[in-house]
Amino acid sequence: MAPASQLKLYTNVRSRGSIVEWYLKELGVQYEPVTINMQKKEHKEEWFTSINPLGKVPALVHGDLKLCESGAMLLFIADKYDERVETAEDRALCAQWVLFAYTDMAELLFNKNLPEGRMEAVMTYLESRLAAHPFVAGPEFTIADVAVGSHLVFSKVFLPQLDLGKWPAVAAYEKRISARPACEAWASVVCGANMPPGK
């Protein structure tokens, strides 16, 4: 099995690769970042599509493993490097939050024809959790915060008209987690650029 330092992440600060980097940095896992110049369409070059056939960023390589899908990367990292993830139940809860972020939350960002009440339902759910716990999964920062928090950060770019102040616990949480050192650098680039990541 390749050591952690042989973890190679092909990424771009405005891509979902930033979500993966955030988690790696929180865990203190060594990795080699390889910046893909998306303006020059490096992600469509043959060497890159041999790693991710869809020509999308990010991609992760570890030993013989070539991984696409940033959500799958988070789950791989949790399983392999997050000491708090030990049992099938722990892994199931990691999957629950990653899938929630990448489906229910992503829908809020990308579906221009959201079903009536969908925004309110998802945000009220988050508000109730964050009013009761400092972090999404409970007392500690976990993969759940990377998955959910990154989508809240991206909401500033994709839904600039959204007033998170309607959900005060969510708004305070978004500020708190995006100020974490491992998140701050990319969050300020992404939000400062005010453009969809990687597009």
Ligand X SMILES: N[C@@H](CCC(=O)N[C@@H](CS)C(=O)NCC(=O)O)C(=O)O
Strand pairing report for 32-35 and 8-11? parallel
Q: For tokens 């990653």, name the residue.
A: 98
Please list every residue from 92 through 131 that binds ligand X, using CB under 6 A.
none
Contact mark string toward ligand X, 66..95, x via CB under 6 A? ---xxx------------------------
**With CB under 6 A as the contact rule, which of the stretches 56-64, 80-88, 136-144, 171-179 interacts with ligand X?**
56-64
Rounded to the nearest whole angstrom, what is the least distance from the CB of residue 42 to ligand X in the complex?
11
Q: In the complex with ligand X, which residue's Cβ is closer, 69 or 90?
A: 69
List strands edge to edge, sheet with 65-67.
32-35, 8-11, 59-62, 65-67
∠ CA 29-66-59, nearest 5°, is 70
Q: In the complex with ligand X, which residue's Cβ is closer, 71 or 149?
A: 71
- Which two three-digit tokens encode residue 15? 């891509």
Rounded to the nearest whole angstrom, what is the least distance from the CB of residue 60 to ligand X in the complex?
10
- The size of the interface with ligand X (CB under 6 A), counted in residues, is 12
Cβ–Cβ under 8 Å, residues 105 and 122: yes
The residue within the footprint of ligand X, chosen from 11, 16, 130, 150 (CB under 6 A), is 16
Distance CA 19, CA 13 (A): 9
For residue 61, the cross-strand partners are 8, 66
Q: Is 57 in the site for ligand X (CB under 6 A)?
A: yes
Rounded to the nearest whole angstrom, what is the least distance from the CB of residue 15 to ligand X in the complex?
4
3-class secondary structure, 59: strand
Rounded to the nearest whole angstrom, what is the least distance from the CB of residue 59 to ligand X in the complex?
8
Residues that bind ligand X (CB under 6 A): 15-16, 43, 55-58, 69-71, 197-198
